[in-house]
Structures are given as structure tokens and as C-alpha cells.
């Protein structure tokens, strides 16, 4: 996440403003490319080219949203947003991916219609426009590559771009097949492949985003294992009402009721400190809120997880 830049001295230092400029340039280039591909697709009659254009527009959108989310995510917490603005990136990702799924389904419909009623496609125009697209995709990938090492948000956009470059290669190959053998069916087939890829990528990405927005347990953390580790900590009698969720990809939070064995405050403070250290070391959980109880005044019939 963007706020990590200041802390990671061992990374190549990316100044946030320079990072924003790189992302903004990438957005500009991709928007121009999309327009060129849509015009090229309409003039040449190629749906595959339009499919690639749509994919590029989604790239520009995801980069633009990543750019805004970087800006918003750096805002400090305030009275209305006590958790801060970091989840702007998740909301952005949800909007992006939902739009992509709708677009992917529309492209499948277009391609199937083309397979049923074939039309003429101008192969050379497809190849020229796609060659231009390939250059732009690689340029964008270079612009976002350095940032992608530090930010999962930008990494997603970077991977999109590499995928786009492959899409452009597919359209070039299709154009060559149409020129060499007159295989106009290659165009809708390429469209189906690009659409299939867009859908596969979007659906697999959106699941993690929804899980985070629904305050789901982070993947790779088993609540039962966390409770067992907490209960094995000296001074802890039992643990209940456990909640684990992610604020963002890099911030995991936990809250729980801890029934302590000791009665005095000093012993309680030591137990809590030991729990915080253990949770940070073993599970990477940094934000911990513990409600301590004595065995006499513990919750009656508590739920182990949630509640």
C-alpha cells in the first residue's frame, strides 16, 4: 500500500509524487491507445481489435482508479473515517472488476454473433493498430514496473498490462491468418479467447476483494490455530469472541476477549504484551484489540469465534 513507501528503506525509494506521475502518464497513454484501437476496429471490421481496446480501456480505468486510490489512501484518519481512507483501493477494485465482467460477457455475445454471421475483416489494418498497441502496452508496463514492487494495487495494474501485450500479439497473429488464409473466423475466435481471459482474471480477483469488504478472515490464517496459539500463551485461561479481518491487503486486525489467569493489572499487562508479540510474529497481525476478563467475571456461554 502507498503508505509503506516511507518505511521501506531497503526498497528502491519511489517518491509518491513521482509514482503518481508515472501512473498518470500510463493512464494518458492507454486512453489514447483505446481510442486508436476502437477506430481501427470499426474501420477494419475486427471484433478482436475492439475486444483488445476494451481490455485496454479497463487498464486505463484500473490505472486511473489506482492513481486516485493512492492519493485518497494517503489521507490521514479523521472524524468521519476513523480507520482512514485505505479501503478506497478496495472499493475501486470492486468497481473495476465488476465492469470488466460485464464487458467480458458482452464480448462473448458479440463473438458468437460473428461466428454465426461472418463479416469481412481488413487484416493489415488490424496488424498495424495492434503493433502500435503492443508498443504502448510495453511502455506502460515499464512505467509501472518499479512501483509494482511496493504496491499490490499497482502490481495488479502492471499484470493487466502484460496481459494486454499478449492480447495485442493474439490480434496480430489473427490478422496474419486472415491475410494468409482468409480465415475470417479467426477474429471472433480470438475475441472469445480475450473475453475468456478477461472473465477468468476478473472473477478470480474479485473474490479476494469481496472477501475483504465483507470483513472475511484473511486467506492463510486459520482462526482455530490463532485461538490455540493464544490459549497456549502463559497467563491466558481461554479466548472467545475472536474476530479477524483485513482493513487493506497489508493491514490485518484482530479483536478478542481474553480470560486471564492473573488478577493484578501488572500480570495482565504482561500477558497482553506477550499476546501482541506472538500474534505479530506468528501470524503477521499488527492491529490487536484485547478485552481482558477475569475467570469470575467472564462472558457466560461465549461464542469461540465471532458473536
> 155 or 33, which is more confident?
33
Q: State the greatest distance between any 2 C-alpha atoms of the chain, in Å, as a whole number.
A: 85
Predicted local distance difference test score (pLDDT) of residue 132:
83
Whole-structure pTM value: 0.72
> Residue 221 — pLDDT band, cuts 50, 70, 90?
very high
Which domains, from first to last, does the chain contain? 2-213 (1.20.1510.10), 223-294 (3.30.70.1350)
Dist CA 110 CA 106 (whole Å): 6
- Chain centroid to Cα 234, Å, comes to 39
Closest CA to 282 of 257, 254, 305: 254
What does the block give as the cell for 19?
509514482
Q: What is the pLDDT of residue 223?
A: 93
Is residue 274 over pLDDT 60?
yes
Mean pLDDT over residues 3-30, rounded? 60
Give the integer Cα–Cα distance in Å for 136 and 49.
15
Q: Please report the beta strands in 8-77, taking only residues with DSSP state E, as ranges in sequence order.
A: none
pLDDT digits (tens, 9 = 90+) for 236-268: 999 999 999 998 877 899 999 999 887 788 888
Kindly report, residue by residue over 122-172, the tens digit of the pLDDT.
778 878 888 888 888 888 888 777 777 766 667 767 777 777 777 788 888
Specify the range with the lowest mean pLDDT, choosing from 14-28, 70-84, 214-228: 14-28
% of the chain with per-residue pLDDT over 90: 20
Place of cell 499490490: 152
pLDDT at 10: 38
Amino acid at each position: 500500500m502507498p503508505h509503506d513507501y516511507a518505511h521501506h528503506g531497503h526498497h528502491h525509494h519511489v517518491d509518491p509524487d513521482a509514482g503518481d506521475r508515472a501512473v498518470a502518464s500510463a493512464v494518458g497513454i492507454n486512453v489514447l491507445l483505446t481510442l486508436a484501437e476502437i477506430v481501427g476496429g470499426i474501420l477494419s471490421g475486427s471484433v478482436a481489435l475492439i475486444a483488445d481496446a476494451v481490455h485496454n480501456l479497463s487498464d486505463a480505468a484500473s490505472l486511473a482508479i489506482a492513481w486516485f486510490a493512492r492519493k485518497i489512501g494517503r489521507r490521514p484518519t479523521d472524524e468521519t473515517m476513523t480507520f482512514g481512507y485505505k479501503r478506497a483501493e478496495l472499493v475501486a477494485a470492486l468497481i473495476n472488476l465488476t465492469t470488466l465482467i460485464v464487458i467480458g460477457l458482452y464480448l462473448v455475445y458479440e463473438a458468437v454473433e460473428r461466428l454465426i454471421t461472418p463479416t469481412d475483416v481488413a487484416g493489415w489494418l488490424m496488424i498495424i493498430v495492434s503493433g502500435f498497441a503492443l508498443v504502448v502496452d510495453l511502455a506502460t508496463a515499464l512505467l509501472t514496473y518499479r512501483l509494482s514492487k511496493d504496491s499490490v494495487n499497482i502490481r495488479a495494474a502492471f499484470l493487466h498490462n502484460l496481459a494486454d501485450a499478449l492480447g495485442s500479439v493474439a490480434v496480430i497473429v489473427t490478422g496474419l491468418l486472415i491475410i494468409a488464409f482468409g480465415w475470417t473466423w479467426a477474429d471472433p475466435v480470438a475475441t472469445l479467447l480475450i473475453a475468456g481471459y478477461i472473465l477468468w482474471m476478473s472473477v478470480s480477483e474479485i473474490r479476494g476483494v469481496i472477501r475483504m469488504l465483507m470483513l472475511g478472515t484473511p486467506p492463510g490464517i486459520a482462526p482455530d490455530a490463532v485461538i490455540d496459539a493464544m490459549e497456549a500463551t502463559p497467563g491466558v485461561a481461554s479466548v472467545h469472541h475472536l474476530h479477524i479481518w483485513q482493513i487493506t491487503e497489508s493491514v490485518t486486525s484482530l479483536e478478542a476477549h481474553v480470560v486471564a489467569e492473573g488478577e493484578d493489572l501488572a500480570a495482565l499487562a504482561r500477558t497482553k504484551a506477550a499476546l501482541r508479540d506472538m500474534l505479530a510474529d506468528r501470524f503477521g497481525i499488527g492491529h490487536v484489540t484485547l478485552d481482558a476478563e477475569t475467570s469470575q467475571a467472564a462472558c457466560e456461554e461465549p461464542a469461540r469465534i465471532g458473536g
